[in-house]
A and B are shown apart, each in its own frame.
Chain A
Amino acid sequence: MALLEVEDLTVEFGTRDGTVRAVDRVSFAVDKGEIMGLVGESGSGKTVSCRAMLHLLPGWQVRRASGRAMFDGQDLLTADEGKLRDLHGRRIGMIFQNPASHLDPLMTIGRQVAEPLIYHKGMSAKEARVEAIQLLRQVGIPDPKRAVDAYPHQFSGGMKQRAVIAGAVACQPDLLVADEPTTALDVTVQAQILRLLLDLRDRTGLAIILITHDLGVVASTCDAVTVMYAGRIMERAPKAELIRAPRHPYTMGIIRSQPSRAEPGRPLDSIEGQLPALSALPEGCRFHPRCEYAIAPCRSGEIPLDTVGPDHAAACIRWRELRGAAA
């Protein structure tokens, strides 16, 4: 059985223009020790679905979240505050895009790493501090004995992210939700942080949901990939297969528009148009206004997620014809 099974997760927001669906019947699963990439443009609903699942969206924003998110036999969506607090930090950790703003500027790094140990394991401040030094060493922070008493502003971006990771994995959780953990960092630091995450997975069997818009990150890190667009899942496949043989035109588009595929003298491919506003979603396939393969049936009705192969599904009615079109 999968560690986390999300089924038909739907998240609605109340906005000035009425209720909008940021996430629409999204399903995916993550196994123990698996790194699952959740890919899409900003606004595709990848962050919202994870945060809604963990009840980490600002309370006033969510109108309704429905579906199921089974974590170890427990539905996260219906879990009460106490149960969630028990899971947060102990069994499910989360790290963020901007480590600087996610650290309290007035609290020492060590204390912030130690917080979950104090509130979950009942450690004294002293014990937790010793443990925090250990954790800082594990995430590759040099001179952890000094770093433990440093304040966030004394750390570089990469070091801050390492510290956030140390806090998130302090209690050896089963699942880590990593929300664009490398986007705000320098390229060289990005690679280090990704290596650290891989290393943590190998050592502790940690499962990771890696939210990113960067296929390069997916390629170097993930085992499986889920592609989201405008609140819906477009395609889901093991990483190698997805990159080698994508079946959804949107997946093909983002693969083609990777900067790493750029060739000198040729303009970089890109997907024409823009992500639709959630309050004005197109009928039919949400991607059809931007899709070069769109035909009449794409413009109406529900496009289901169709099984392409083992562990591979795509929400495109033309996936059979599009075989190989990406190349």
Chain B
Amino acid sequence: MTAIEIPAPPSRWRGMSLPWTVPTGAAIVLFWIAVAVLSPLIAPSDPIGQDLSQTLQPPSLAHWLGTDNFGRDVLSRLIWGTRYDLMMGFFGVLFPFIIGVTIGAVAGYSGGIIDAVLMRLLDITISFPFFVLIIAIVATLGPGLSSFYIALALVGWVSYARLVRSQFLVLKQSDFVLAARCLGFSRARIVFKHILPNAIMPAVVFSMSDAVLDILLGSSLSFLGLGIQPPTAEWGIMISDGKNFIAQAWWISFFPGLAIIILAIGFSFLADGFAELLGAKD
């Protein structure tokens, strides 16, 4: 019996050298994950405990990044805040990713009326300014982290759906899928084993830049008072806290902003590097 060979799906990774952005980005993100995990061990003091004798202290040996208007240690709050902001990046991506990939796959594979309906839904969603719709949903559900995740899930899926759908449209016509179909493989097997692993890569790459957006959105919401609520240590809240003291105590707002930027750069580097690996245009 002759073995029937299915043409191999295009492998894009082989023979490419890793761009420097990937290890650099990974190192930055891993650093923050370590900070988040180890925060009880490395934070010099309680992130919420107030010490009214120590308010608005500039950075010093006792308080490396100074203290805020309640005498809380900015460094400790920053370290503890890592947990929330990393989480917003992670869960902010996770739900939209799952929903978007599913919708994109269904629309792309089935086509016809289902595709048309899902795409109209997408059109309507993207005609809202992204952040405004998020805020409007959060306003409806009431401020808080869970509202933020729900809002993101309701709105954020569109980018993933679009990416995956366009990949599906191309891949379902490709040789290796036609071959698999000729061999009588089941629909589920074709979708999950043959198309999805190839179609999902652009979405995975996008999820890294999306993480940057979600961290920015989440901290923005907290800054506006619609996200995580004080006195929780979270970077957006810290910046908001310091807003009224910028003339006397710039450090309260300054350092958490820097933390956001560094974390964002980590994800951006990963996104850039993987996009390069995927052969996306410069």
| Contact flag (A, B; Cβ within 8 A) | no
